[in-house]
Amino acid sequence: MYRLPLYFAVIFASIMNLSCQSIPDNQYLIRQIDPTTTDDWVSMDWTKGDELSEFKSPWTNNQNNGTSFVAVHDGQYFYFKYRVTDDNVLLYTDQNTRFDVLNSDRIEIFFRKNVEMDPYYCLEMDPLGRIYDYKAKLYRIMDTDWRWPKDQLQVEATMLDDGYIFKGRISLSSLTDLGLINENIIEAGLYRGKCLSIEGDKAEFEWITWIDPNVDKADFHIASSFGTLLLENY
């Protein structure tokens, strides 16, 4: 029977060991995909990415919150998809402005430049495809006039009988220009605001997050609510 020389056997075992190691709970691997498959990015094969479904609702202990996320990249864009399962999606449309998002069921992605969160950038997006984007720094000092760089963010939202799907793509060049990619690392928070009720211009929410920030009151605008996104082969 053929046997590998000891030197090569050790290397092979090391490679296999690394490939079998699990990614920590506070990290998510953004798989690289062939750019020739992303011409129609809305309808592309999202199964190439790893589904993240371990979203938490630390302030209600509701772990069955119907929220999942998947992301991939092709060297030019960061593509993401949220799938929300909910038979009572509530939307606020009275003012018909981007601020209506704040009183609607929505998904959110925050990006930070550094652990000091100076600055960080926020995308809050609802099932109608509306985007509330802004720049901020600790603590909740928000520049609501700021917009994501023009033509560097596209989204597509689809309402379903049992919830909604929200898809988007962000150019990696815009993330780089904003100082949000360090080698292959993006520091980000992934969240959802599940709207429970709307009365007038006031809404009540259950707050859902990928990373448990370990605070008594729901708050995503703090460093402990962020995790790490790793760009494969970037």
- The candidate with the shortest Cα–Cα distance to 55, out of 189, 168, 162, 173, is 189
Asked if 69 and 78 touch (Cβ cutoff 8 Å), the reply is no
Inform me whether the pLDDT recorded for 34 exceeds 60.
yes
Q: Which amino acid is at 60?
A: T
CATH of the domain at 169: 2.60.40.1190
The pLDDT of residue 23 is 80
**Tokens at 193, concatenated:** 């605001």
Q: What is the pTM of this model?
A: 0.90
| % of the chain residues with pLDDT over 90 | 87
| % of the chain residues with pLDDT over 70 | 91
Domain-embedded: residue 56: yes
Domain-embedded: residue 5: no
The pLDDT of residue 125 is 98
Average pLDDT over residues 161-171: 98
Domain-embedded: residue 10: no
The pLDDT of residue 12 is 40
The pLDDT of residue 44 is 96
The conformation of residue 210, written as its DSSP 8-state character, comes to S
At 11, the pLDDT band (50, 70, 90 cuts) reads very low
pLDDT in tens, 71-130: 999 999 999 999 999 999 999 999 889 999 999 999 999 999 999 999 999 999 999 999
Domain-embedded: residue 159: yes
pLDDT in tens, 177-189: 999 999 999 999 9
- Alpha-carbon distance of 13 to 107, in angstroms, equals 42
Asked if 232 and 34 touch (Cβ cutoff 8 Å), the reply is no
Domain-embedded: residue 30: yes
The pLDDT of residue 21 is 55
The pLDDT of residue 14 is 42
The kind and range of the H/E element at 7 are: helix 6-20
The pLDDT of residue 95 is 87
The boundaries of the domain holding residue 141 are 22-34+52-231
Domain-embedded: residue 9: no
Torsion angles phi and psi, residue 186, rounded to 5: -120, 125
The pLDDT of residue 74 is 98
Domain-embedded: residue 17: no
- Give the 3-state secondary structure percentages of the chain, helix then strand then coil, rounded to 5: 15, 40, 45
The kind and range of the H/E element at 122 are: strand 120-125
Average pLDDT over residues 152-168: 98
- Alpha-carbon distance of 1 to 10, in angstroms, equals 18
- Alpha-carbon distance of 41 to 216, in angstroms, equals 39
Number of structural domains found in the chain: 1
Buried b (16+ CB within 10 A) or exposed e, 137-171: beeeeeeeeeebeeebbebebeeeeebbbbbbbbb
Asked if 106 and 91 touch (Cβ cutoff 8 Å), the reply is no
Average pLDDT over residues 143-172: 98
**Tokens at 153, concatenated:** 């963010």
The conformation of residue 3, written as its DSSP 8-state character, comes to -
